[in-house]
Amino acid sequence: MFQCVFSSSVLQPHRTSCLFKHLFYHSATPASQKQPEPIYSKKTEIQRQTVRALSVKLFIFSALQVARQLLLQQQQQQQVSGLKSPKRNDKQPALQVPVSVAMMTPQVITPQQMQQILQQQVLSPQQLQVLLQQQQALMLQQQQLQEFYKKQQEQLQLQLLQQQHAGKQPKEQQQVATQQLAFQQQLLQMQQLQQQHLLSLQRQGLLTIQPGQPALPLQPLTQGMIPAELQQLWKEVTSAHTPEEATGNNHSSLDLTTTCVSSSAPSKTSLIMNPHASTNGQLSVHTPKRESLPNEEHPHSHPLYGHGVCKWPGCEAVCEDFQSFLKHLNSEHALDDRSTAQCRVQMQVVQQLELQLAKDKERLQAMMTHLHVKSTEPKTAPQPLNLVSSVTLSKSASEASPQSLPHTPTTPTAPITPVTQGPSVITTTSMHTVGPIRRRYSDKYNVPISSDIAQNQEFYKNAEVRPPFTYASLIRQAILESPEKQLTLNEIYNWFTRMFAYFRRNAATWKNAVRHNLSLHKCFVRVENVKGAVWTVDEVEFQKRRPQKISGNPSLIKNMQSSHAYCTPLNAALQASMAENSIPLYTTASMGNPSLGTLASAMREELNGAMEHTNSNESDSSPGRSPLQAAHPVHVKEEPLDPEEAEGPLSLVTTANHSPDFDQDRDYEDEPVNEDME
DNA sequence: CATTTCGTAAACACGT
DNA sequence: GACGTGTTTACGAAAT
């Protein structure tokens, strides 16, 4: 359903997806099956990839700085010297001062400066407009990146801290690891898009890749921290700058190195790369300090200058010291067509990155929202007996316990899209999409029909929305909800119309469908009664009819399985359902509250039915479920294969005497479901 | 692409 | 004969 932001892996799709699967597996595995060893190795992988993502981040950040400085520089150049001789190549010492000033005090172009630049008519007004916007965007971008990087650092720190307590809180750790993987994958996606952008620029002729590039000044980064993928990326990125410079380019890589060094990233990186460092108690607490511009800290650092080399895109001129670099900058990279073009390219890169950043931030937000919601969704994602993240657990508990009114099946405050919300709860925003689509919702989503109905009862009652369940499921639910687990046809009709606004019209159609289903499916057994006939459900047959495999959240199933008692989801659904169904449900309260058993069994049946075919070994060897001897079914539906089934309705869930411990006896937990589903 | 499942329509039988 | 109930067949869409 969520078109998998998660699955977007760039550099190593296979490894990443496998890793994700693995983590997912572990996050959904009960504590008893936890194996710390693979977690560690995979965690290392995560960290490695996180480092990669951080490096990308740093690159972006530094690139932005470069572009920003470029803009400032050009602006200063034009302001100071452009009026006199825009084309001048002779080195004027006076130029150095404003340039350096510009480097020290990065600011947005003032209107006066803009006016001056305009008067020079070096750039068209449109270009200047773009420049101005670009610079403002750059400031914003830089801010965002700083925040983002900070966040990432905090994530890393959290992860490391958790790793320190590995074994104690494996669940939480894995959760965070999973989330982090998602974040990191998103970063990788950014990386990919950056590559794509550069490639597109290439195709447009704006850039050309020079194949025989010497393999770059990546040494500081390659000190065991940068994986090969990133190196490759750097090659591509840096080699894709300007065509003319025969000297080679890769300056932004240098920029990255300086940025990397100036920030505290390397130390983190090395720490991260060694997961045992933290477990050995050597974890040095990193306070994620704010990224400060290099030229703010060091007066003689410049985004375009590093390691004695000019880092102007496409230039690799060696500059002895900073002064010579400034001279070089003013002479070789003065405002001319080439520099303008290069700047424009850089602007496009930045623009694209900014765009992508916005998109990815949005996506990230959606991801976080999704994860949060899922963790606070007690009914569809019941907490297993072993601990979950304490934060989400407490939150979900606090949200679930005051059994919210059924009228508000959704958390009213959460602005969640129906997609991220999962199938179980329907919001009003999704009601318009349900109309024509039909069939297999339940199978697709694997949502227990009873819980779904319980949660969305009010919605179904009022909104003319087709319930996402098949007729068979609905009929079965209606029957199971009845005190006696048997209904006449007319009662089934009434249940349909009572529960679903959708079935208040086109009666002929859906009634015909109901009859058709009752007759067609073997799971519905007609039982003669004194005053006619009633319909009951044969659970075995019903489950046989559900060959759909689990396509939804595997953790959900596992969680539900891991918690044998189904206490939490059951109670939640029950409370919601009973609050809504108070009248019909409590009518039979004297009989030990059969509705509870009904609903519980319904949920379990649904769940079991959904899982039935995951372990396809045998669906027939379902445990002996004390078949209540039904009355005499008038008509036994044809069962060509199983002769023993023709002898009688063995597993009728019916007839007068309900079993109070109905849900207790019928345990389907006799065998653990295969872990390796999918 | 074949098969299965499901929804819909409709014909038919039977009893009231 | 109308109506409700129940069975069955047929067909198309969707999913597998």
Provide the pLDDT for residue A510.
Answer: 94
A15 touches strand C (CB under 7 A): no
Nearest protein residue to B10's C1' (by CA)?
A512
Which residue is the nearest neighbor of C16, CA to C1'? A548
pLDDT tens digits along A478-532: 999 889 888 999 999 999 999 899 998 889 999 999 999 999 998 899 988 777 8
How far is it between the farthest Cα atoms of chain A?
111
Residues in chain A: 678
Chain C bases closer than 7 A to any CB of the protein: 4-10, 14-16
A606 CA – C15 C1', rounded, Å:
20
Tokens 């019916």 appear where?
A: A654
The rounded distance, in Å, linking the Cα atoms of A529 and A656 is 11
What's the CA A7/C1' B12 distance, rounded, in angstroms? 54
Q: What number of helices (H) and strands (E) belong to chain A?
A: 28, 4
Q: Rounded to whole angstroms, what are the CA distances from A441 to A6, A38, A383, A444, A551? A: 23, 36, 24, 5, 11
Q: E strands of A271-326, at which residues?
A: 305-306, 309-310
- Which residue, among A54, A59, A21, A63, has the nearest Cα to A38 in the 3D structure? A21
Q: Using CA atoms in the order A596, A602, A604, A606, what is the torsion angle rounded to 10 degrees?
A: -160
In angstroms, how far is B9 C1' from A512 CA?
Answer: 9
pLDDT score of A340: 73
How do residues A584-601 score in pLDDT, each as one tens digit? 322 232 333 333 334 444
Residues 188-247 of A with CB under 7 A from strand C: none
For residue A433, say whether its CB is under 7 Å from any atom of strand C: no
pLDDT block averages, 10 residues each, chain A of length 678: 31 32 32 30 40 42 47 48 36 34 36 42 42 49 53 54 43 45 51 46 38 34 35 39 36 34 34 34 35 44 76 75 80 77 70 70 67 42 29 31 30 31 42 37 52 77 84 91 90 92 90 93 87 87 60 34 33 34 30 37 43 37 35 48 38 35 30 31
- CB neighbours of residue A432 within 10 Å: 9
Protein residues contacting strand B, judged by Cβ under 7 Å: A 438-440, 443, 469-472, 506, 508-510, 512-513, 515-517, 545-547
User: What's the angle, vertex CA A174, arms to CA A173 and CA A177, rounded to 5?
Assistant: 90
Residue with tokens 């109670």: A571
pLDDT for the residue A479: 92
Helical H segments across A433-506, by residue range:
441-445, 449-455, 457-462, 471-481, 489-499
CA distances from A147 to A143, A152, A334 (A): 6, 9, 33
- CA of A514, C1' of C13: distance in angstroms: 19
Nucleotide nearest to A439 (CA to C1'): B6
The pLDDT tens digits for A87-102 are 333 333 333 333 333 3
Q: Three-class SS string for A211-250?
A: CCCCCCCCCCCCCCCCCHHHHHHHHHHHHCCCCCCCCCCC
Alpha helices by DSSP H, A165-227: 170-203
CB atoms within 10 A of CB A334: 22
Kindly state the tokens that stand for A365: 């937000």
* Predicted pLDDT of residue A511: 94
Q: CB of residue A507 closer than 7 A to nucleic acid strand C?
A: no
| pLDDT score of A583 | 27
Provide, in whole angstroms, the distance separating residue A469's CA from nucleotide B4's C1': 17
pLDDT at A338: 74
**CA A510 → C1' B8, Å?**
9
> Beta strand A524-529 with A309-310: parallel, antiparallel or unpaired?
unpaired
What are the CB-based long-range contacts (under 8 Å, 24+) for A666-670? A666/A601, A666/A604, A666/A623, A666/A625, A667/A623, A668/A604, A668/A608, A668/A622, A668/A623, A669/A561, A669/A564, A670/A623
pLDDT of residue A6: 31
A488 touches strand C (CB under 7 A): yes
In whole angstroms, C10 C1' to A461 CA is 33
CA distance A66 to A527: 81
User: What residues pair up with A652 in beta bridges, in sequence order?
Assistant: A538
Radius of gyration of the CA atoms of chain A, in A? 33
Provide the pLDDT for residue A81: 41
- Distance in Å from B13's C1' to A635's CA comes to 15
pLDDT one-digit tens code per residue, A425-441:
544 433 333 333 333 44
- Rounded distance between C-alpha atoms, residue A617 and residue A663, angstroms: 24
Q: Say which DSSP state A78 is in.
A: I
Instruction: Indicate the pTM of the whole model.
Output: 0.33
Which regions of A498-611 does DSSP assign to beta strands (E)? 524-529, 532-537
Backbone angles phi, psi at A30, to 5 degrees: -60, 160
Please tell me whether residue A487 adopts helix, strand or coil conformation: strand
- Sequence-distant contacts of A486-491: CB under 8 A, at least 24 apart: A486/A527, A486/A534, A486/A535, A486/A536, A486/A654, A486/A655, A487/A534, A487/A535, A488/A529, A488/A532, A488/A533, A488/A534, A488/A535, A489/A514, A489/A515, A489/A518, A489/A533, A489/A535
For A351, A531, A638, the CA distances from A528, given in Å and listed in that order, are 74, 8, 18
Nearest nucleotide, CA A510 to C1': B8
Question: SS3 of A377, please?
Answer: coil
Do A13 and A164 form a contact (C-beta atoms < 8 A)?
no
> Which nucleotide across the nucleic acid strands is nearest to A470, CA versus C1'?
B6
Distance linking the first and last C-alpha atoms of chain A: 16
Distance CA A2, CA A24 (A): 16
Q: In a 10 Å sphere around its CB, with 0-12 CB exposed, 13-18 middle and 19+ buried, how is residue A406 labelled?
A: buried
Separation of A168 CA and C15 C1' (Å): 44
**Pick from A332, A336, A328: which is nearest to A305 by CA?**
A328
Render pLDDT for A391-406 as a digit per residue (tens, 0 to 9).
332 333 333 333 332 3
* Alpha carbons A37 and A35: distance in angstroms, whole number: 5
**3-class secondary-structure state, position A332:** helix
Q: What is the pLDDT of residue A512?
A: 94
A515 touches strand C (CB under 7 A): yes
Task: Determine the distance between A641 (CA) and C10 (C1') in angstroms.
Answer: 24
A520: Cβ under 7 Å from strand C? yes
Q: Of A286, A294, A292, A343, which is closest to residue A314 (Cα–Cα)?
A: A343
Strands A305-306 and A532-537: unpaired
- Alpha carbon of residue A634 to chain centroid: 53
What's the CA A512/C1' C1 distance, rounded, in angstroms? 21
